[in-house]
A and B are shown apart, each in its own frame.
Chain A
Amino acid sequence: MIKQTTYLSHSYGKPNSWTLSAYESAGGYRGVRKALSMTREAVVEEAKKAHVRGRGGAGFDCGTKWSFMPKESKKPHYLVVNADEGEPGTFKDRSIMEMNPHALIEGCIIGSYAINAHACYIYVRDELHLSKERLWGAIKEAKAKGYLGKNPFGKEYEVEVYVHTGAGAYICGEETALLNSLEGRRGEPRLKPPFPAQYGAFGCPSTVNNVETLAIMPTAFEMGADEFSKLSELHSFNDGGARLFGVSGHVKKPGIYEACVGLTLRELIYDLGGGVLEGRAILGVVPGGSSCPVHLPDEVPTLPADPKWDPYRGKSILDIPLGVDTFRNAGSMLGTCCAMVMSDAVDPVLALHNVMRFYRHESCGQCTPCREGCGWIERILNKIVAGKGSIAELDEIHEIANNITGNTICAFGDGAAQPALAFVRRYRKHFEDYIVSGGKSQTRRLTL
């Protein structure tokens, strides 16, 4: 169901929306005052009630993550913000940092207090120069007002926020790679356990949160967490509130749309996104960043037998509400909730080739199955695209992808294998025709 909201996006497109005065006149910095008047334990409990599922892709409950931080510890604690947005198809965090940076700063103060941290690092990918500039500007303004520093809002609780920058590596969006990069090392993921809550940044207990996860927290606190969670159609699935939805590719009105959780892909594509360009049919939709499997428009997923899934049984994947658990149980992945739409003008062979080039380029090279596997799949696709592939090699893609899955330190491997498997399974006929005709049967490309 479409219930559009403007908690984060109210300022988008307005002049000087990134300034403190604009943010405060729109009601900013109220949630943090409420949070700082509570005890730390109460803040974590309240955050749990908001059921804010991590907006970076994994969908882990934010309040629960905060509760994992040690109660007593002699080491300093750190809050680290993952602003290394780079998942293909995803562009929501950048909009927050550019248009509404104070929402993130306010969320950082709440988060730091909740996990007993006095320093917060926002890890922004280097390419986002405007985001960094706006965040530093927001930090400066907040410091001048006394919102950051020794006594935010009169509370004896020091909070400092810093912007840290990467240098062009998708893998640094993985939380332990991000921590290594923050520490000044190569951005290679770490083995877990120990988890960041025990041994994170600089060997100290740390929490890594996504930009949007923190930026929506002030709204949850101001409104009351329970009420905020109930905005969502999936409140009973512990998937609460409102979030940013993105849509890109072959739609008439690509962009960011904010709405209550419960929106479906069909609503996102046709009602908010204006439908497919030239009125074409959909070839496939990737629900939330390229690591998610691609889906056919008429695909009806098999849901578990539990009666709680009955309302969605027999429905097309396009008509199931976009939620962490709904999509996971439908055999998909919600990811970042930024969908990519491919019209029927697209050749799926070329689309997968594009996606696998990305993963080959971005694999950090630490684990053999991923380093070799991504390159291997890309080389097979190079051959197929050039009209020199064989059906046996197509089958090999399955084997290689299955050998990557579950055999790597971090989730990048699965994220690379998943699209390969999904594309080859769902468009097998396209792939076979392409191979048999040496690419000559194919008139489609990637663009319209």
Chain B
Amino acid sequence: MAFALSAEAEQKLNDILSRYPNKMAACIPVLHLCQEANDNWVSDDVIEFVAQRLELGSAHVKGVVTFYTLFNQKRPGKHQLWVCHTLSCALRGGEDILHHCEKRLGVHAGGTSKDGKVTLRTAECLAACGTAPVIQVDKKYYENLSIAEVDRIIDTLVKDG
């Protein structure tokens, strides 16, 4: 089914276009907008839609999508959980948190829990080294974490219908 944006999102798209001297520059912000409107992933339909609206080749848009790690090329779970495991976080137990999340959710990093609620990912440095270890859930940071706090966060994600 062809992808389309809601009227409200169309307004946002026009706002984005008004900021730049050409349409190509809107590529990444518009892809974010469409990804959010498409259950957090960029399907081939989304790529076609963005290419048409921005007057770009679909190969160009696909090239952009595949370059950046935050464009999902497969449908993720309802929530996305990133665990930072770069050096400052690793020194403070980031790897332990990652292993704990893997056990709790029953998946390796990159996978989605069986109930489809949480996709577990690793992150490379989230610029929160002073408050390590840190995880990001969807758009929110959780800092200075202990395993117990991670458990509480996962509890709320799993309960969320």
Q: A86-B125, A129-B139 are in contact. Are A184 and B26 (CB under 8 A)?
A: yes
From known contacts A167-B32, A447-B92, infer whether A246 and B130 are also in contact, taking CB-CB under 8 Å: yes
Q: Does A41 contact B (CB under 8 A)?
A: no
> Once the chains are docked, how many angstroms separate the CA of A169 from the CA of B28?
12
Which of chain A's residues have a CB closer than 8 A to the CB of B67?
169, 186-188, 364
B25 touches A (CB below 8 Å): yes
Q: In chain B, residues 125-139, which have Cβ atoms closer than 8 Å to a Cβ of chain A?
A: 125-132, 136, 139
Would A254 and B129 count as touching, CB distance under 8 A?
A: yes
Q: Beta-carbon contacts of A7-47 to B below 8 Å, as 1s and 0s?
A: 00000000000000000000000000000000000000000
Q: Does B123 contact A (CB under 8 A)?
A: yes
- What is the bound-complex CA distance between A342 and B32, given in angstroms? 37
Report B-chain residues with C-beta under 8 Å of the C-beta of A93. Answer: 127
B92-A170 in contact (CB<8A): no
Choose the segment among B82-90, B111-119, B147-155 that binds chain A (4+ C-beta atoms closer than 8 Å).
B82-90
| In contact, A164 and B29 (Cβ under 8 angstroms) | yes
Nearest B residue to A131, CB-CB: B127
Whether, in the assembled complex, A94 has its beta carbon less than 8 Å from a beta carbon of chain B, the answer is yes
Is A255 at the interface (CB under 8 A from chain B)? yes
**Given A167-B32, A342-B91: A184 and B124 interface contact (C-beta under 8 Å):** no
Contact indicator B88/A166 (Cβ below 8 Å): no
B interface size (C-beta, 8 A): 46
What residue of chain B has the Cβ atom nearest to residue A162's Cβ? B19
A249 at the interface (CB under 8 A from B): yes
| Residue pair A202, B68 in contact (C-beta under 8 Å) | no
A167 touching B69 by the CB < 8 A rule?
yes
A169 touches B88 (CB 8 A): no
Question: Chain B residues with Cβ under 8 A from A90's Cβ?
Answer: 125, 127, 129
A184 and B24 within 8 A (CB): yes
Which residue of the partner chain B has the closest CB to A94? B127
Q: Does A219 lie at the interface of the complex (its beta carbon under 8 Å from any beta carbon of B)?
A: no
CA distance A91 to B24 in the complex (A): 31
List residues of chain A with CB within 8 A of the CB of B136.
127
Determine whether A209 belongs to the interface, using a CB cutoff of 8 Å to chain B: no
B70's closest neighbor in chain A, by CB?
Answer: A168
Residue interface mask A181-197, B partner, CB < 8 A = 1: 11111111000000000
B68 CB contact (under 8 Å) in A86, A169, A346 = A169
What's the Cα separation between A337 and B112 when bound, in Å? Answer: 38
A404 interfacial contact with B, CB 8 Å = no
A349, chain B: closest CB distance, angstroms: 13
Say yes or no: A184-B128 contact (C-beta < 8 A), given A167-B32, A249-B92, A354-B86: no
A335 to B107, CA, bound (A): 37
A339 to B5, CA, bound (A): 45
Complex Cα distance A346/B19, Å?
48
- Min CB distance B32 to A, Å, is 6
Measured CA separation A187–B71 after assembly (Å): 14
Given A165-B32, A167-B71, A185-B64: A128 and B127 within 8 A (CB)?
yes
Residues of chain A lying within 8 A (CB to CB) of residue B140: 129
- The listed residue (A166, A183, A338) touching B129 by CB distance below 8 A is A338
Check if B141 sits within 8 Å of A168, measured CB to CB: no
Assuming the contacts A88-B125, A91-B127, asked whether A340 and B88 have C-beta atoms less than 8 A apart, the reply is: yes
Which of A87, A125, A168, A184 has its CB near the most chain B CB atoms (within 10 A)? A184
Residues of A near B25 (CB, < 8 A) are 164, 182-184, 202
Residue A355, interface by CB 8 Å: yes
Residue of A nearest to B133 (CB): A447
A244 to B124, CA, bound (A): 22
Q: Known A167-B71, A340-B91, A447-B92; judge A186-B63 contact (CB<8 A).
A: yes
A-B contact pairs, 29 of them (CB 8 A): A86-B125, A86-B127, A88-B87, A88-B125, A90-B125, A90-B127, A91-B130, A126-B70, A127-B123, A127-B127, A129-B139, A164-B25, A164-B29, A166-B28, A166-B68, A167-B32, A168-B68, A184-B25, A184-B26, A185-B24, A186-B64, A248-B129, A250-B91, A338-B129, A340-B91, A354-B85, A358-B125, A446-B95, A447-B96
